[in-house]
Structure 1
């Protein structure tokens, strides 16, 4: 029996148990040619048919994925049109993403995990960056706290009054804090 196999099969020696996950991870990372300190999430791809959870979160094969560097209007959030009419802009943002995605496969390049355990990713469909599409269409804003990738797309959408930019709205991060 190889020394590593002996290590794995020594169940009675509880002193080794805390180290086994690290040893196994190190061996796997070495086999993949990565350094143990490398972020495994950054090399992860998730591909498949996506279900829209809300305007900036999707699910593929049971994995929740938060779209990187964008913040969509919250599903229950409302916006105010210039004529004083309220509209369900948050629900419309989620609906727009759902219609965009349809049943075609989505490929997500995971960059991180958030504090809720969701993957954070840039997602693509047929080569098109869905995160960029959301912001450029006015259904999400650039989430500068997490990246500046889509700031220029937001400026274009705002100037053209696309999506929520055709109305008055509270930024999603402020709305979540109770500013309504």
Structure 2
């Protein structure tokens, strides 16, 4: 199974991740008397994409620009990849704000943070395939994606996952959804009590 997955991913990833934008087409309204425009300044090189390393822990690694994402998953090269060790609120989970007395989609802060983090690309070690779903540990140029989401307080550590310490740091610092004014769904409150009781 791992060899098959590695072969399929190798073939799928043979396509270039991005290409430089095409130069603008000349306008038919330009006259021959117009002075030529100075050459455009060289655009800064795009930041290096995160890439797979020899120390990858999974059977395969997928890297490149993210085509789509949700609060706890990314999609690259048409492959949806769920983050291992991370639990994010569902779209139907509502959080409240004690100060403004508003309710909001608890997953919205995670989606916003995910957008910031994946802008520069992602490299994901595929560590499991279950029920047709790929599960991976992903990295951005800033570090481990799951750890960064949990440290920001917009996701929580999955049971028996590797992120209990970053979660405790986020709870202690009252970051993101762990802020004092936020009213959490019950399962998040239970996770908060468990983390602070230990």
**TM-score band, normalised by shorter chain:** 0.5 to 0.7
Displacement of 1:155 after TM fit?
0.8
Matching residue of 2:156: 141
1:72-87 pair list within 5 angstroms: 72-83=88-99, 84-87=101-104
1:70 aligns with 2:83: no
What is the TM-score of this pair, normalised by structure 1?
0.66
Structure 2 residue runs without a partner (length 5+): 8-56, 191-198
Higher share in helix: 1
Q: Secondary structure at the match of 2:150?
A: helix
Displacement of 1:127 after TM fit?
5.7
| Alpha carbons of structure 1 residues 165 and 78: separation in structure 2 relative to 1, 3 Å | same
1:130 aligns with 2:151: no
Structure 1 residue runs without a partner (length 5+): 1-20, 29-40, 175-180
Matching residue of 1:96: 113
Coordinate RMSD, CA, aligned: 2.5
Poorly superposed stretches of 4+, deviation over 3 Å: none
Displacement of 1:101 after TM fit?
1.2
1:49-60 pair list within 5 angstroms: 49-60=65-76
- Cα distance in 1, alignment partners of residues 59 and 130 from structure 2: 16
Matching residue of 2:41: none
1:161-172 pair list within 5 angstroms: 161-166=174-179, 167-170=182-185, 171=187
1:42 aligns with 2:58: yes
Displacement of 1:52 after TM fit?
4.0
Q: Secondary structure at the match of 1:75?
A: coil
Matching residue of 1:17: none
Matching residue of 2:128: 112
User: Do 1:141 and 1:154's aligned partners in 2 also have CA atoms closer than 8 Å?
Assistant: yes
- Cα distance in 1, alignment partners of residues 81 and 183 from structure 2: 28
Size of the alignment, in residue pairs?
A: 133
Displacement of 1:131 after TM fit?
0.6
Q: Secondary structure at the match of 1:42?
A: coil
User: Do 2:69 and 2:114's aligned partners in 1 also have CA atoms closer than 8 Å?
Assistant: no
Q: Secondary structure at the match of 2:183?
A: coil
- Cα distance in 2, alignment partners of residues 156 and 77 from structure 1: 23
